[in-house]
Amino acid sequence: MSTPFRLGIAGLGTVGAGVVKIVQAHGAALAAKAGRPVEITAVSARNRGLDRGIDLSPFGWEDDATRLARRDDVDCVVEAIGGAGGPARALAEQALAAGKHLVTANKALIAHHGHELAEAAEAAGVALRFEAAVAGGIPVLKGIGEGLAANAISRIFGVLNGTCNYILSEMEATGADYADVLAEAQRLGYAEADPSFDVGGIDAAHKLAILAAMAFGTRIDFDGVVTEGIERITLADIRTARDMGYSIKLLALARMHDSGLEQRVRPCMVPEKTPIGALAGVTNAVVAEGDFVGQCIFTGPGAGAGPTASAILADVLDAARGHLSPAFGRPAACLTAAPRLQHGEEHSPYYLRFMLADRPGALASIASALGEAGVSIHRMRQYGQGDPVPVVIETHDARRDAIDAALIAIAALPVSMAPPVAIRIEEV
């Protein structure tokens, strides 16, 4: 009961400072829950003098974060530096090699190097945990890896990037353009100055790769995530989607097929009256489907200092209790290298938008091209008058390669006045 569990915290940005604040605010409760005191003994950051609203004087200081791995008074390193390589990776490797538990919020690090780090943690008999890397404060890795562990998961999906969801739901709510909403999101701090990791889907892809490995017991495969961002989503598509009963969401989805593992981050149309379709703002949600449990949904704040620090400390408490589950829910040697589903094998209904010259036979030529590619039409709408005129088609279930072939054929038609748009429709 009395041996303290001693933390070394690397990185004192908002997340690292948040960890310090929780330990200072809830020390007694954390000790009761862990069965032993949880203490911070050392910290490291780039700038020692910066005012972070916390008193660092009780803690040892290291200019070089990797030195935390060598301190005798540190049992667990909390990595809050960020970045897939560089100092974060060096620290992680050295901490595990030195027999320290490692808790990190670093999705890029885990997405790229999670398997090797999991092996290192097992070899050292220590915990490697990264709840904060996926969906911020929501305890979703614990929920799936432990809470739903009795199930074979068939599909896992969700909204994993708050920036994108804020932009899409603001466009829908206010009718403002992508560029205007992005600028507002940057002003509010919901988007970075360089937003490409978020709006390009990379951030969500990092998280999805981690979730999929945990859900399916597969070896993490970030390079296998097919990724498409929200940059090309227009207000016109958002309005048409709503008109058809859908919302457009940047959906991260992984599904196990007989022929391979499907992992993709893509703007999708989802029924608006579902928990995912109705999700507004920066909130995240993850849906897991298990063979015995059915569908469980985890919803909450996907980013921010408080939620991220909350998730980090949940991992710290588990390590302090001596709960050393394997990083991905089963030993690294048991994680299977699943083949990737071929891109063209993906199938679903699709929303297609064409800009057609207003002349006789235009619609017929589109319908004909779809038919030749084997894509059948569920419903079709023409929006207003004009030349070109927007025509929207919702297909029946179709393979992606058939859709791609149809779009190539249609783009080459004389009546096609702008590149066609295809957005997957997902049952959620």
H helices, E strands: number in the chain = 13, 18
Q: Is 36 in the site for a second copy (CB under 8 A)?
A: no
CB of 337 closer than 8 Å to CB of 124 = no
25 vs 183 by CB, closer to a second copy: 25
Residues 50-89 as x/- pattern, contact with a second copy by CB under 8 A = ----------------------------------------
Q: Is 350 in the site for a second copy (CB under 8 A)?
A: no
The stretch near a second copy (CB under 8 A) out of 165-173, 191-199, 270-278, 404-412 is 270-278
Q: Is 37 in the site for a second copy (CB under 8 A)?
A: no
Q: Is 224 in the site for a second copy (CB under 8 A)?
A: no
- Tokens at 39, concatenated: 């203490």
Residues 201-220 as x/- pattern, contact with a second copy by CB under 8 A = ----------------x---
For the bound state, the minimum distance from the C-beta of residue 244 to a second copy, rounded and expressed in Å, comes to 20
Q: Is 323 in the site for a second copy (CB under 8 A)?
A: yes
For the bound state, the minimum distance from the C-beta of residue 88 to a second copy, rounded and expressed in Å, comes to 22
DSSP-assigned letters across all residues of 326-350 = -TTSS-GGG-B-PPBPPGGG-EE-E
CB of 5 closer than 8 Å to CB of 34 = yes
**Beta-sheet pairing, 347-348 with 398-399:** antiparallel
Q: Catalytic residues, which ones?
A: 207
Per CB under 8 A, the list member of 3, 174, 295, 376 interacting with a second copy is 295
Burial of 295 (0-12, 13-18, 19+ CB in 10 A): exposed
For the bound state, the minimum distance from the C-beta of residue 35 to a second copy, rounded and expressed in Å, comes to 7
Per CB under 8 A, the list member of 50, 97, 183, 334 interacting with a second copy is 334
CB of 23 closer than 8 Å to CB of 7 = yes
CA 92 to chain CA centroid, Å, is 21
Within 10 A of 390 (CB to CB), how many other CB atoms are there? 18
CB of 247 closer than 8 Å to CB of 258 = no
CA 46 to chain CA centroid, Å, is 28
The stretch near a second copy (CB under 8 A) out of 45-53, 222-230, 239-247, 292-300 is 292-300
The whole-angstrom separation of Cα 18 and Cα 281 is 22
CB of 286 closer than 8 Å to CB of 160 = yes
Per CB under 8 A, the list member of 301, 366, 390, 423 interacting with a second copy is 301
The stretch near a second copy (CB under 8 A) out of 137-145, 172-180, 188-196, 352-360 is 137-145
Q: Is 24 in the site for a second copy (CB under 8 A)?
A: no
The whole-angstrom separation of Cα 302 and Cα 133 is 9
Q: Is 267 in the site for a second copy (CB under 8 A)?
A: no
| Dihedral sign of CA atoms 328, 330, 334, 336 in order | negative
Q: Is 321 in the site for a second copy (CB under 8 A)?
A: yes
Who's near 79: CB < 8 A, 6+ residues apart? Answer: 10, 11, 88, 91, 92, 95, 102, 103, 104, 105, 106, 109
The stretch near a second copy (CB under 8 A) out of 230-238, 295-303, 359-367, 380-388 is 295-303
Which residues of the shown chain bind a second copy in the complex (CB under 8 A)? Answer: 18, 21-22, 25-26, 29-30, 32-33, 35, 131, 137-139, 142-143, 146-152, 217, 273, 275, 278, 290-301, 304, 306-307, 309-314, 317-318, 321-323, 325-326, 329-331, 334
